[in-house]
């Protein structure tokens, strides 16, 4: 053995110190249950926007706080764009501060410098995560809702009087049971599923989550052979919720989260399905590959201690032609 290699005691010490630190950091990053599965904490602000309520629909009153890397925030941007609500709901983009692990503002907003301060302004003494997206009421200075699944339902239906595309209903009553069924499956195994894979703290938690993820992706790929979208010819909220995870898949989840059985581009239908939604008017403008790479590879320290941001697959593949309109 070469003398320049560290002695086995140094290697053992290094492994012990690193593994202990990794476990400590992972348990803070990703709260887990006894079997090591990642458990996402529930969102705490769950109000609705509705006429004759504390939060009636108004132009310019409500603001969306989003991080461009975040798949949950991304959902809200896609629905805002597809409904044509750009003039009604202003957006504030926040940026990750890697040392503190919080979202910070580029310029002071509502007298706050970061998301923790905004949450404390909304509810002094708030205890919980300081997540995006946030739907903020600039009139009463509070958070109306911080759950993306709720916010996209609100944007789809509660601002129609101001929307450019009023007739577009992404959650039509006749499809709601089917949409809800897809949402339930896709949330657990795909949207949150990729996090369960990436944040797994044991081999068995990793393998189980990975298996569940790809079982659902295989099933969706089959459905998409005969359906343009998950529920048929109509784009729905279920597609948008899936889209923001698929958009990040080959770029970050495949490598950083070890979701590496297969890429989306290797599937028969999922690759074109991703392109189809990406190419809908306005959607590409909500997609920011560089921020996605920076936020995941640059900020999830325990998963990427060296901080190297890899070169990603050719992004022009997203603009390539597809034939999904013929299905």
* Comparison of 183 and 269: residue with beta carbon closer to ligand GSH: 183
Residue 38 found at the interface with ligand GSH (CB under 6 A)? no
* Comparison of 129 and 261: residue with beta carbon closer to ligand GSH: 129
Strand blocks (E) in 110-171: 112-114, 134-137, 142-145
Instruction: Give the shortest CB-4-to-ligand GSH separation in angstroms.
Output: 42
Among 64-72, 207-215, 219-227, 230-238, which window interacts with ligand GSH (CB under 6 A)?
A: 64-72
Instruction: Give the shortest CB-311-to-ligand GSH separation in angstroms.
Output: 23
Among 145-153, 167-175, 251-259, 277-285, which window interacts with ligand GSH (CB under 6 A)?
A: 145-153
Tell me how long the chain is: 327
Residue 130 found at the interface with ligand GSH (CB under 6 A)? yes
Residue 131 found at the interface with ligand GSH (CB under 6 A)? yes
Residue 47 found at the interface with ligand GSH (CB under 6 A)? no
* Comparison of 243 and 267: residue with beta carbon closer to ligand GSH: 243
Quick check: 202 and 33 in contact, CB under 8 A? no
- Local structure of residue 214 (DSSP, 8 states): H
Instruction: Give the shortest CB-258-to-ligand GSH separation in angstroms.
Output: 18
Please spell the DSSP secondary structure of 71-119, one letter per residue: HHHHHHHHHHHHHT-TTTS-EEEEEEETTTTEEEEEEEETTEEEHHHHH
Q: Which of 27, 110, 120, 129 binds ligand GSH (CB under 6 A)?
A: 129
CA atoms within 13 Å, Cβ hemisphere of 66? 24
Catalytic residue annotation: 70, 195
Instruction: Give the shortest CB-133-to-ligand GSH separation in angstroms.
Output: 6
Bond from prior residue into 133 cis (ω within 30 degrees of 0): yes
Contacts of 152 (CB under 8 A, 6+ apart): 75, 76, 79, 170, 237, 240, 241
Residue 43 found at the interface with ligand GSH (CB under 6 A)? yes
Q: Which of 132, 231, 283, 292 binds ligand GSH (CB under 6 A)?
A: 132
Instruction: Give the shortest CB-243-to-ligand GSH separation in angstroms.
Output: 14
Quick check: 257 and 198 in contact, CB under 8 A? yes
The continuous run of DSSP H or E covering 295 comes out as helix 289-299
Three-class SS of residue 145?
strand
Interface contacts to ligand GSH, rule CB under 6 A: 43, 67, 70, 72, 129-133, 147-149
């Amino acid at each position: 053995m070469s003398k320049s290699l560290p002695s086995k005691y140094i290697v053992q010490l290094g492994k012990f110190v690193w593994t202990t630190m990794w476990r400590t950091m992972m348990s803070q990053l990703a709260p887990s249950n006894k079997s090591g599965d990642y458990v996402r904490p529930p969102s705490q602000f769950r109000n609705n926007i509705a006429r004759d309520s504390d939060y009636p629909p108004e132009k310019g009153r409500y603001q969306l706080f989003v991080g461009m890397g975040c798949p949950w925030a991304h959902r809200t941007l896609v629905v805002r764009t597809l409904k044509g609500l750009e003039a009604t709901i202003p957006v504030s983009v926040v940026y990750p501060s890697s040392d503190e692990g919080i979202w910070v503002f580029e310029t002071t907003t509502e007298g706050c410098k970061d998301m923790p301060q905004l949450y404390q302004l909304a509810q002094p003494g708030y205890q919980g995560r300081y997540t995006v997206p946030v739907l903020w009421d600039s009139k009463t200075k509070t958070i109306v809702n911080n759950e993306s699944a709720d916010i996209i339902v609100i944007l789809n239906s509660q601002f129609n009087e101001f929307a450019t595309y009023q007739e577009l209903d992404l959650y039509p009553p006749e499809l709601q049971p089917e949409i809800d069924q897809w949402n339930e499956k896709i949330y657990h195994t795909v949207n949150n599923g990729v996090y369960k894979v990436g944040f797994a703290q044991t081999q068995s938690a990793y393998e189980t989550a990975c298996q569940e993820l790809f079982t659902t992706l295989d099933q969706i790929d089959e459905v998409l052979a005969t359906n343009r979208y998950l529920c048929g010819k109509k784009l729905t909220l279920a597609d948008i919720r899936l889209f923001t995870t698929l958009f990040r898949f080959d770029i970050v989840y495949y490598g950083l989260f070890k979701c590496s059985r297969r890429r989306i581009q290797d599937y028969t239908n999922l690759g074109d399905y991703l392109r189809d939604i990406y190419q809908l008017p306005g959607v590409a403008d909500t997609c920011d590959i560089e921020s996605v790479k920076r936020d995941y590879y640059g900020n999830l320290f325990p998963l990427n201690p060296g901080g190297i941001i890899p070169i990603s697959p050719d992004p022009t593949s997203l603009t390539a032609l597809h034939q999904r309109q013929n299905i």
